[in-house]
Every structure is written in C-alpha cells, then in structure tokens.
Amino acid sequence: MNSKEYFSLKFENDELIFLDQTKLPLEEIYHATSDYERIANAIERLEIRGAPAIGIAAAYALALATKNVKKESINNTFASAFERLKNTRPTAVNLFFSLNELKNVYQNSDASNDIYNLLLSKAIDIHNDDVKKCESIGKNGLKIFNKKSIVLTHCNTGKLATGGEGTAFNIIKQAYKKDLVEFVYADETRPLLQGSRLTAFELEKEGIPFAVQTDSSAASLFSAGKIDIVIVGADRIASNGDIANKIGTYNLAVLCSFHNVPFYIAAPTTTIDKNIKTGNDIKIEYRKSEELFNINGQKIIPNKFNTYTPAFDVTPSNLIKGIITEEKICEYPYNFSNE
C-alpha cells in the first residue's frame, strides 16, 4: 500500500477532514466537519492526536467558530471557542501555541475585516509551516546515524501525528530510504496502543520491516544487544530540555542510559515551552479509567479496581543524547530559554 493513500487531516471547502485514529488499523474512516465543537470532541477522544496535529486542528476549529457569526456576537463566540479548545488536552504545548497565534491575529484585526478568512489564513500558515518543519526534522535526523541501525520507537510520531510526514517517524523513514535503518521495533504503547495500532500501520504503509512488542519487552531487547538507537517524539519540552512524552518514554531513556544506547527526541521548535524552566512545571494529563478497563469496547478488568492513568511522563534532560528540531540537533546541556 502506498503511503499517499492516507492523511491525518486536511482542510477543504470550509471543512476539516480528518482520519479517525480510534478506528485504526482495522478501519480507515474519515470525518468532515465545519463545527468547532465536533473538532474539540475529536481531540479529546483522540480521533485527532499527536501534538502538532492537535495544534493544527485547533487552529482550523477556532477559525471555523467565527464563520458566519454576526459582528455583535463575534467577541463572545471567539472567547468561548478559544476556552473550549484550550481545555481539550493540557500537556501538548502546540495546542496553546496555535490558539495564541490565532488570538493575536484576532486581537490585531480591524472590526471591518473578514475575521473568518483572516483566521483561516493563519491556520493554513500553521499547517504549512508544520509540513516544512517535518521535512527539515527528517533531514537533520539523518546525522545521528553512523551505521545501518536497528531502531526502537514509542507511541506514534508519523503522518498521523503531524501536519506533514512526521517527526521521529520521518527520521526513521528518511533513514530507511538511505539504507541507514535495518529494522524497527515499535512499542505497543499501552493503554491505547498507539504503537501497535498507528505506528505499525504507518510502518507497513512505508514498507519498513518492523515488529511490535509489549512495552515491558523493551528491556529484553536492550539486554540482548538488539537496539542501536531510540528515537521518540515529545509533547512539551521545558527550557532545560526536560521533555514530556507518552507514558513509557522515561522507561526507555533509563534503559538507554544503562545500556549505553543513544536516546533522541525529535520535535519542532513549537514544542519547546520557554515559559517553563523544568519538567516539574509541565502539567500531566490523566486519562479516564475506562481506557484501562476496556480494549475496543470489550471489558477486560472490572470497574471496581483503582487505576493510575497518566497519559505522559517526564524524561530528565541529562538522559537525552540530542533533541532534533527543524533547525538543528541540540545537545545536552540544553538552554532553550536563551535561543
């Protein structure tokens, strides 16, 4: 199957069209909507997910909220939509970056202007910018390979998670094309299986040889000497280089440190939050217990059990060999507040 046969989201005829990622890999179902509330729900339900993709979708949603709204109601409508979208997911900083970019456009616009098209133009710019950032991240990431390697990755960082070809996944993809990647191990990424459902879906589309393993199997791969490099994404990066990413990322960083395997982050500069000093300042999202109780609607454990359900964990910067952005590969110690 050709990788061009699918996309995460696009905007056409005043509608956001997005692939419902909760149905993958068994079904490829696309939805089209001009309703910002529907898009907000899609972000919350993880129909749309991945930090850059969330930011792009929210930008389109905020623009759509102002379409055909009377001038006397526009301020209240914009403020209401902004707050609704801001509260969909608390950890990924790209969401807040995109919403604030549109807010700046709105606040600096003349009342006589066509607000919808002004905001839509900015949303399109954000989308196009992410496409370019993904391309540059893929190219910059080739520099970390010094031999044909076996790569381990976690969660999903490909086309499904971004507006372009992906971050960590795009590095793997470009390296495979250059004969720098031999094989990929994809963590299943519990509890919502973004690795076994989404990354495996994309690896198969690209024709890259891979295997899916349980998250807890990673240590055995390291101990057997089967991993040369680990590349993952990030949902937020603090000024000192601490990163928040899908739960289970910290485990991999510790394994890399113990087994002397390089651990890399790939993310656009929009994921860097210069307003926070360390990972301790990152707000971690907690998901509903039902995501542990059920798989694909089938109950596997009783609801009476207590649960612990963080969606993300924080990896200290000293465990990160490098952070690959569209601009360059940054190395420890990190100081993004001065960049």
Active site residues: 235
Beta partners for residue 229, in sequence order: 151
The total of other beta-carbon atoms located within 10 Å of residue 282's CB is: 22
Return d(Cα 67, Cα 204) in angstroms, integer. 39
Return d(Cα 274, Cα 234) in angstroms, integer. 15
Contact 216, 223 (CB under 8 A): no
Return d(Cα 166, Cα 135) in angstroms, integer. 8
Residues whose CB falls within 8 Å of the CB of residue 231, separated by 6 or more in sequence, listed in order: 141, 144, 151, 153, 168, 171, 172, 264, 265, 266, 324
Q: What is the CA radius of gyration of the chain?
A: 20
Query: DSSP code of 312?
Result: E
